[in-house]
Structure formats: structure tokens, C-alpha cells
Amino acid sequence: MRKLVTLLIIGIVLGFVLYEYLKALQLRSARPTAVSADLLGAAPSAGVSRARQWQGTDDKQPFPARDDLTLINGIGPAFEKALNAIGIFTFAQLAEQDARSLADKMNARITAERIRRDRWIEQARELARSG
């Protein structure tokens, strides 16, 4: 009986060590790696970083503008994240939405009634116009 318990404990420890090792290998392989120009099939162009070359953009193009959606009354960090997840990053994008379809896209995190009551779309229109 004592040998069985000892073997069981050793098996659990070895299983845990193997699990952690495989998890570390998986994390290491999931990290992005540098891509050489010959793998891309093109020579690296001047002034373009390898990461940008891989993404197909050059260093001179600005990133898309993002507005601070938390400036709208009723939108906190959680709702801003939810809006970003469905592709809404600016006041103008939010101003183009319909309360009912927006609530449907946000998967029951909020109701259309609350969006109307808090005037998200009207506030977004005003903020988009002002700047």
C-alpha cells in the first residue's frame, strides 16, 4: 500500500512537471518572431521596419484615431472595451449607430433603452462635431 501511494505521488509530480514544460513550450512557440525578407518574397525597403513590412504599412502612416469614448456620460471603461470589440473607436462611428442594433451587437451587456436614456448617440454626435 505504501509503495502504491509513493508511486501515485511521484506520478502526479512528474505529470505536473511535464504539463508545465509543455505549457512553456507552447507559450514560446506562440510568441511573434521576426520574419526575414526572403520569407516574405521581397527585399526590405528603405525606411520600413520589418514589423511594418509584415503588416503591409509603412512607418509614416498614422494609426487610426481613437476617441476617448468614456467622455460620453454612461460609458465607462468596460463599455468602451465592449464598443472597441465590435469595431467602434470614434465618436463619429458611434454617432452612426442605432440604439437597438448597437445593443444587439453588444450581446446583452446593455439595453437599447439605456443607450437612449443616457443619450450615447446624441452625445457622440455632439462630440464628433466639436472636434
Which CATH number fits the domain 69-130, given the four candidates 1.10.150, 1.10.10, 1.20.1300, 3.30.1370?
1.10.150
pLDDT at 34: 46
Neighbours of 103 (CB within 10 A): 19
C-alpha cell at 91: 465618436
How many angstroms separate the CA atoms of 9 and 17, rounded? 12
How many angstroms separate the CA atoms of 89 and 17, rounded? 43
The angle formed by the CA atoms of residues 38, 39 and 45, to the nearest 5 degrees, is 50
How many angstroms separate the CA atoms of 28 and 26, rounded? 5
Q: Where are the domains of the chain?
A: 1-31, 34-61, 69-130
pLDDT at 107: 77
Q: pLDDT tier at 19 (50, 70, 90 boundaries)? A: confident
Could you report the per-residue pLDDT of 60-119, keeping only the tens digit for each?
555 568 999 999 999 999 999 999 999 999 999 999 999 999 999 987 678 999 999 999
How many angstroms separate the CA atoms of 59 and 51, rounded? 10
